[in-house]
Chain A
């Protein structure tokens, strides 16, 4: 109870404060909660999986485990960019239907881990349609730069992974 009231005093960003792994897509900077990040690996050969949307790049072998990989650029309807030596796959863990599942996200480059305070976080802007912002937890202003904090569960959540399975 006490924690909740403290959170209220600190404003809307309080429960979002914490450590974020930041990365870039084009000119934009993004952040994902450090607790859902499992590891960061370089781009490796991805096996395409048929009957999936374009942003699902396919599956990779993560030390003996097969995990799906999605391209965040394509997911956010940005232009495709050739993978280079800075391209990374961030492996995150999200809650699947029964057990946690690991999913890889292809990003342009990984920047750093930032400690973001509650005061630096603002609610997501309204950009008209809600589908554009529903993946966003909030906007953080750190050292004059804006980081878009992503809701990983929404971006790569199981529901999304399964949408096409029904087709």
Chain B
């Protein structure tokens, strides 16, 4: 029993995903990691967490704290070691808290490489406080406080040198009087800031579009107004200054040039981190509150406003500039200490001509105006914003439930023997009308839970922009189908894997311009990000024209790791998809040779949690294509209904490979017990569902029954059932508090009865017992 604790493996998986997301200088994710690791500390962890892991967690936390305090180098290399430490913790968790000395030694070795001495013996015996880091001596809460203070002081410290003036310092927050209002503001502010960012990036395409400028102006105005009302003076002042600047642009006093865009973007980031801080204060109390120094921004904005007259004309910026120039002067890199939020562009002080060169718009040319499917939809999307309302998700779920029930009831009434005997044409007509209305209602209700994936995609624009700037590569991001709709609940879960894959594509897939030229490719690499619906699935594709995967190296690595044998003949496709196996993760970087493969198993796990699949196709030297297939909604599952005795179960279609009547000659047993079926040359263990679920079957001989071959997490099993009843899209419901191994949930079948949906991982596990 977990008693509200997340299962250990989930926590560790989450940590593994986070560590992949970390970039040097990005302390926010380190903070998230810290939150996660704290759930594993002695005293806070679930009772069944092995002691070894709790102690590893203490060491791990010590390391994280040193990163935050700046005592340890915040470098990609060190995060790599941290990632390996997580792998070792995962390994220990798999071994149920009895890792070999080997793993412990590796763990300590990795910690040592980071700069934290941990004694392996302290992890198994003795007291936990036996290592050199000092983090473990503080109690969790105090340490956390210190970290937060450190983080915010770091942030404000970094703002100081760039700004100079000391205006706008407040010590005590006096905005905590109305926490409800404040919470509302925080939520709204995040939305506004996001819309600002999206609009600014759009503006880079068409700088003279008044509508977009207005769209940027309005959220600043709102933030200014509400923050003033709530006494959030710093935010208010910054938003106000920016609003003034934008107002000048609106009134034609100055053009919307790259300097303005830059400052709006950085102000947006700064506001975001300030709101983030307030959210923190709201949750953890005002003790850690530290006001952000915004004087740097204010000075820059004023300078911009004063020098506005000599700014270059609008046309200069709007001219398409397909060749990006990350190597030209980059305000971010020069003036930027670790905290990204606090950067202060020095651009305004430069002569007007230089400003064109700074132009960030040119770095990732988001889309060439010619092929702008996403662009059109983006425009229509931004205009729709005013016409929506917020509805509680629970109410929506209730509506969807009720509609589902309505549809079932309707079919029950229709199938009623007495009713169906009535041969009245009017009744028939009315019935078909009713059916039309209910199915329309059902469609609408379902669509209410769906949101365009645009929001997630838009974040990728910024990601690619920053990545290409940092790595000095030239990358075009071309997005298609951003208006494809996805289940609201999936949006958050798909973001992290998507970021990781995008990062992989830009970091490792696309080579630097010089290398690309050698291969006869255009200097600018292209990454396509596509979303579309296919059948009952939502597809997301990430395609790059980079160097592709190196199958020879993958093969070599797979043999080294014992994943495949020397003699095994695998197609390129199969080889490429080996990168999703856990063995290919952080342990040793394949990055050096082929450029891919770090942490792809984490991506796969995240996608599978959403009941999706991920695949890669690649041609060495030509590029790679990652395809993610997701169900359209988490609420509905496409399943095959099978009968076992008197019971009906639903097997998720996505896991099913084939079904058949087994033939005698393909059936074999091991020691008279372990049953196997030869399926296309592979031995697949048979699971008799009736045995696991304790029902009386129609058939006990596998050759009379039907087997359904399913695949889950790389393992194949043949499930023995009595009959296949049909295929149906069913709405998943929980069992109202029952949590049963082997059962993922229930659903209401066409006849109004409940059918159980199989959880294949659970079914396979219960057989293993």
* A65 touching B401 in the complex, CB below 8 Å, given contacts A47-B753, A48-B695, A162-B1: yes
* A68 and B735 form a contact (CB under 8 A): yes
**Interface 1/0 per residue, B660-677 and A, CB below 8 Å:** 000000000000000000
* B748 and A64 form a contact (CB under 8 A): yes
Residue A144 CB within 8 A of the other chain: no
Q: Residue among B694, B737, B756 with the most chain A CB within 10 A?
A: B737
A68 to chain B, nearest CB (A): 5
* B401 and A64 form a contact (CB under 8 A): yes
Complex interface: chain B residues within 8 A of A59 (CB): 735-736, 738, 746, 754, 756
Residue B174 CB within 8 A of the other chain: no
A92 to chain B, nearest CB (A): 12
**In the complex, A166 Cα to B739 Cα: how many Å?**
9
| Partner pick for A61 among B4, B734, B748, CB 8 A cutoff | B748
* A165 and B740 form a contact (CB under 8 A): yes
Residue B752 CB within 8 A of the other chain: yes
Residue B692 CB within 8 A of the other chain: yes
A41 to chain B, nearest CB (A): 13
B172 to chain A, nearest CB (A): 37
8 A Cβ contacts from B1-59 to A? 1, 4
Cβ-closest chain A residue relative to B751: A45
**In the complex, A58 Cα to B753 Cα: how many Å?**
11
8 A Cβ contacts from B385-430 to A? 401-402, 404-405, 408
* B738 and A68 form a contact (CB under 8 A): yes
A74 to chain B, nearest CB (A): 16
Complex interface: chain B residues within 8 A of A65 (CB): 401, 733, 736
Complex interface: chain A residues within 8 A of B743 (CB): 49-50
Cβ-closest chain B residue relative to A51: B740
8 A Cβ contacts from B727-769 to A? 733-743, 745-748, 752-756, 766
Complex interface: chain A residues within 8 A of B733 (CB): 64-66
**Interface 1/0 per residue, B135-179 and A, CB below 8 Å:** 000000000000000000000000000000000000000000000
Cβ-closest chain B residue relative to A50: B693
Residue B647 CB within 8 A of the other chain: yes
**In the complex, A50 Cα to B648 Cα: how many Å?**
12
* A50 touching B740 in the complex, CB below 8 Å, given contacts A45-B753, A66-B754: yes
* A50 and B692 form a contact (CB under 8 A): yes
Cβ-closest chain A residue relative to B733: A66
Q: Residue among B401, B404, B692, B740 with the most chain A CB within 10 A?
A: B740
8 A Cβ contacts from A40-73 to B? 45, 47-52, 56, 58-61, 63-68
**In the complex, A51 Cα to B740 Cα: how many Å?**
7
Residue A34 CB within 8 A of the other chain: no
* B1 and A61 form a contact (CB under 8 A): no
| Partner pick for A47 among B737, B755, B766, CB 8 A cutoff | B755
**In the complex, A51 Cα to B765 Cα: how many Å?**
13
Cβ-closest chain B residue relative to A52: B740
B601 to chain A, nearest CB (A): 28
Residue A89 CB within 8 A of the other chain: no
* A48 touching B736 in the complex, CB below 8 Å, given contacts A64-B404, A97-B4: no
Residue A158 CB within 8 A of the other chain: yes
8 A Cβ contacts from A101-147 to B? 101-103
* B737 and A161 form a contact (CB under 8 A): yes
* A66 touching B734 in the complex, CB below 8 Å, given contacts A48-B695, A97-B4, A165-B740: yes
Cβ-closest chain A residue relative to B645: A48
**In the complex, A85 Cα to B404 Cα: how many Å?**
29
* B735 and A49 form a contact (CB under 8 A): yes
Q: Residue among A51, A63, A64, A158 with the most chain B CB within 10 A?
A: A64
| Partner pick for A49 among B4, B402, B756, CB 8 A cutoff | B756
* B756 and A96 form a contact (CB under 8 A): no
* A101 and B755 form a contact (CB under 8 A): no
8 A Cβ contacts from B206-224 to A? none
Cβ-closest chain A residue relative to B398: A64
Complex interface: chain A residues within 8 A of B4 (CB): 97
A143 to chain B, nearest CB (A): 36
* A165 and B695 form a contact (CB under 8 A): no
B206 to chain A, nearest CB (A): 48
**In the complex, A67 Cα to B742 Cα: how many Å?**
18
Cβ-closest chain A residue relative to B747: A66
B746 to chain A, nearest CB (A): 4
Cβ-closest chain A residue relative to B737: A101
* B738 and A165 form a contact (CB under 8 A): yes
Complex interface: chain A residues within 8 A of B694 (CB): 50
Complex interface: chain B residues within 8 A of A67 (CB): 736
Complex interface: chain A residues within 8 A of B740 (CB): 49-52, 164-165
* B754 and A60 form a contact (CB under 8 A): yes
**In the complex, A82 Cα to B207 Cα: how many Å?**
78
A7 to chain B, nearest CB (A): 32
**In the complex, A66 Cα to B736 Cα: how many Å?**
6
Complex interface: chain B residues within 8 A of A165 (CB): 1, 738-741
| Partner pick for B647 among A47, A63, A166, A167, CB 8 A cutoff | A47
* B404 and A161 form a contact (CB under 8 A): no
A23 to chain B, nearest CB (A): 21
| Partner pick for B742 among A50, A66, A68, CB 8 A cutoff | A50
**In the complex, A59 Cα to B733 Cα: how many Å?**
11
* B736 and A68 form a contact (CB under 8 A): yes
Complex interface: chain B residues within 8 A of A101 (CB): 736-737
**In the complex, A101 Cα to B742 Cα: how many Å?**
21
**In the complex, A45 Cα to B755 Cα: how many Å?**
11
**In the complex, A102 Cα to B405 Cα: how many Å?**
18
**In the complex, A167 Cα to B405 Cα: how many Å?**
33
**In the complex, A96 Cα to B737 Cα: how many Å?**
7
Can you list 14 A-B pairs with a CB-CB distance of less than 8 A?
Answer: A47-B754, A47-B756, A49-B735, A50-B692, A50-B743, A56-B738, A59-B735, A59-B754, A63-B405, A64-B402, A65-B401, A65-B733, A65-B736, A162-B737
Question: Which 3 A/B pairs are nearest by Cβ-Cβ distance?
Answer: A64-B405, A50-B693, A165-B739
Beyond contacts A47-B753, A50-B740, A162-B737: 19 other A-B pairs, Cβ-Cβ < 8 A, are: A47-B746, A48-B695, A49-B743, A51-B740, A52-B740, A56-B738, A58-B754, A64-B404, A66-B735, A66-B745, A66-B746, A66-B747, A68-B736, A68-B737, A96-B737, A97-B737, A102-B736, A164-B740, A166-B1
Residues of B within 8 A of A (CB): 1, 4, 401-402, 404-405, 408, 647, 692-695, 733-743, 745-748, 752-756, 766
